[in-house]
Amino acid sequence: MMRKTLLTVVLTGLFGFTQAQQPDILPIGFYPGEELLMEAYLQNIYNNPSRAITTPPGLPSRTAAQWEEVQALVITWTGFPTILAQIVDAAQEECTVIIHCSDSNTVKSDLVASSVPLTNIKYIEVAYNSIWIRDYGANTCYLNDVDSLVLVDWIYNRPRPDDDVIPEAYSALLGIPLFSTTVAPNNLMNTGGNWMIDGMGTALASELILDENDGSGSYALPYPTHSETVINQIVDDYHGINRYAKMTVLPNDGIHHIDMHMKFLDEKTILVGEFPLGISDGPQMEANLQYILTNYNNAFGNPYNIVRVPMPPSTGGNYAPVASYRTYSNFVIVNKTVIMPGYRTEYDTTALRIVKENMPGYNVVMIDADNTGANIISQGGVIHCITHTVGVKDPLRIVHDNLADTYDDTNPYQVDAIVQHKTGISNATLYWTTDTTQAYTAVSMSLTGIPTDTWTGYIPAQAIGTTVYYYIHAQANSGKQQVRPMVAPDGIWQFDVLDDGSSSVEDNLANVFSAGLFPNPSHGITCIPFHTDRKLNGNMYVTDMNGKIVHEIYTGDFKMGESKFFINTETWSAGVYMVVANTNEGVMSQKLLVR
């Protein structure tokens, strides 16, 4: 603990306050004057490295995705007890909750006052500085894909020495080896909010990772000095990341963390926040997204699926930088439960529906992060920022490129999955049905091994118009069992057997707006689902009842399947409007009421 003591002395000398006298709530960014402590903090780390292992793991490492199985959720109890209590209540149904705190009895009293059962909780009484454990916590990695669980910690980008050693506390509690990037030539500064992983060697980040490791950072201090090539190599050595996408920082997001607007939902899907056209960081977010889509395919070699979720304004209708940076993407996945932030009902209902549609079967818990008693979003972060997870010690990993809609009604549908456990796999089974109210048919999968650890099964060919639902179950030689999706059979994969184009134009157009607009009536962000059985070209716009175009939504190709478009009607005059799709096959419209 020597570095904590040295920095506490410096901190007291410069500002005259100790931890007990510091602000009750430190923001996720620098507290005024805190940046002046960075030089002493960094020098102290270099002179007194972590008690963790400071050389890279000797075996190939794989960083776990956030949807993989976890044994613990870790939090630090300070500042926002009502929000933390709700997180504990939701998470303890799924895993152990580890609470870092100054007094466990006080925490227990707070939990009881919030009617939270004191079950599945462990307390570590330890010094801390702030609530933002996502940024100073350690990340779950596995050596040889699934063999050995380790944690990897970086240099924290805030001069908060008590926060910085918290990974040592919970790694010791759980008996997990802790690796640290604190010693040259592998010294690396990074932050968990700027770290989005697919579990297959891909990381998304902002260029903050470059700025804080270029030798100067924002304050001309002794930050690590590395080229991008060296940064990539360190991250590969410790985390097994071989595709590291770095995007331009958003001008109005003061912390420049990727989790404030972008999140992997699975290996193929990225959730992206969306501002109204031309507002706040919307243009840069769109440019960043197009950079990803242009330069990177998903781990299976195909374009990413993109899901958009609105970025809500303040109660006064303002967006960053005038208002706090409200975001729905900043949520945490704890096994079968999603814990996400909420702000106001008129926006929350749309965001909740989008998350539930794209993560079917998950228990989604929304926590108000924007009210007078617990306005954590005003501090620069929210749910994902104040939580971290620790993976299980014996993961049974199932990776599958889920089947897309098909025109094939003749040949069986091949289902391949990588299935791994450190004791080996005893068996794998494919379950499928065309009616989820009826029993699933079980199909034994065979170890084909191309690529390594691949198991294969087949679903019989189905007639045009059929929807096929399926999931995968596996059992390890140890007896451990797992399914993918993890929430199956409540949430499963599905695909449609489509008409090859012989269906009539009328039938296709009749389905364009079949899902309906929501919410309708509207007063704010409104979602427009659009479905087509084949690729179309044209444009979408909104007219008033006189046929005058009042808003252009989209021009270009409409891809086969379902897409979602968004409009913001908050400033529109109340009345009746028409959403019109004018395509090469014809025109279809849907009525929209605005309050």
CATH assignment of the domain containing 442: 2.60.40.10
CB-based contact 95:71 (threshold 8 Å): yes
Point out the domain boundary residue: 496, 528, 562.
496
Tokens of 364: 């989604």
Which range (226-240, 276-290, 493-507) has the least confidence?
493-507
Rounded to an integer, the average pLDDT of 125-133 is 97
Reply yes or no on whether the pLDDT at 8 is more than 50: no
Among 249, 253, 255, 245, smallest CA distance to 207 is for 249
Give the pLDDT score at 570.
83
- pLDDT tens for each residue of 515-528: 788 888 988 878 89
CATH code of the domain covering residue 9: 3.75.10.10
Domain shared by 509 and 418, yes or no: no
Torsion of CA 207, 237, 136, 18, to 10 degrees: -100
Domain shared by 149 and 94, yes or no: yes
Domain shared by 384 and 486, yes or no: no
Report how far residue 20's alpha carbon sits from residue 35's, in angstroms, rounded to the nearest whole number. Answer: 19
Q: Among all chains, which residue has been given the structure tokens 């209590």?
A: 85
CATH code of the domain covering residue 546: 2.60.40.1930
Domain shared by 384 and 243, yes or no: yes
Domain shared by 314 and 221, yes or no: yes
Overall number of domains in the chain: 3
- pLDDT tens for each residue of 383-419: 999 999 999 999 999 999 999 999 899 999 999 999 9
Task: Tell me which residue range forms the domain holding 517.
Answer: 505-594
Domain shared by 181 and 275, yes or no: yes
Report how far residue 65's alpha carbon sits from residue 56's, in angstroms, rounded to the nearest whole number. Answer: 20
Point out the domain boundary residue: 391, 420, 439.
391
Query: To which H or E segment does residue 550 belong?
Result: strand 549-558
Mean pLDDT score of the chain = 91
- pLDDT tens for each residue of 16-49: 434 434 556 899 999 998 988 988 899 888 888 7
* Percent of the chain whose predicted confidence (pLDDT) is above 90: 76
Point out the domain boundary residue: 474, 496, 518.
496
Domain shared by 545 and 470, yes or no: no
Give the pLDDT score at 217.
59
Domain shared by 84 and 172, yes or no: yes
Domain shared by 416 and 380, yes or no: no
Domain shared by 46 and 14, yes or no: yes
Reply yes or no on whether the pLDDT at 53 is more than 60: yes
Domain shared by 192 and 315, yes or no: yes
Instruction: Indicate the pLDDT class of residue 9, thresholds 50, 70 and 90.
Output: very low
